[in-house]
Amino acid sequence: MGVILDTNVFIVAERSKDSGKLEELISKVPSEYQNDDVYISVITASELLMGVHRALAPEIRSRRQLFVDSVLDQFPAISISLGVAREHSRISADLRRQGNIIGTHDSWIAASALHGGHAVMSSNGKEFSRVDGLTVIDI
């Protein structure tokens, strides 16, 4: 079992302007997961890249690009497969039935985690905790 880092983990790290912030956040992964692999979802890759494209100031865009490239080089991205899509459809239907919907991107990240048997680490644990069976590491 591994851990999928939610997009907001990287946003917190990037906004802190502390070069060690990402390592500090990752060090909060509980010991039972520390020998496992740490991943991102392709959804997180897209969200981070969108942040690069949305930056208006060239110096911000350049700094974000360096940060995102580092993230993409460091963490393997889990793709959306048919199995992940099946998990996503089940999660989404269950949450709608309960009247307890989460964000679309979060539901895809949750589906990737459940399909692969991974936990999700997020500063938005309340959102992810709505997904039955998902292990959430709230930072």
Encoded tokens for 117? 């048997």
The gap between the terminal CA atoms of the chain, to the nearest Å, is: 19
What pLDDT score was predicted for residue 129?
Answer: 95
Tokens of 9: 């983990």
**C-alpha–C-alpha distance, residues 62 and 121, integer Å:** 27
Global pTM reads 0.90
- Only one residue has tokens 């590491």, namely 137
**Angle of CA points 122, 109, 10, to nearest 5°:** 40
CB 40 within 8 A of CB 77: yes
Better-predicted residue by pLDDT, 113 or 21: 113
Condensed to tens digits (0 to 9), the pLDDT of residues 97-133 reads 999 999 999 999 999 999 999 999 999 889 999 999 9
- CATH assignment of 1-139, given 3.30.310.50, 3.30.450.40, 3.40.50.1010, 1.10.540.10? 3.40.50.1010
Note the pLDDT of residue 34: 66
Q: Which tens digits make up the pLDDT trace of 79-94? A: 999 999 999 999 999 9
Name residue, tokens 């591994």: 2
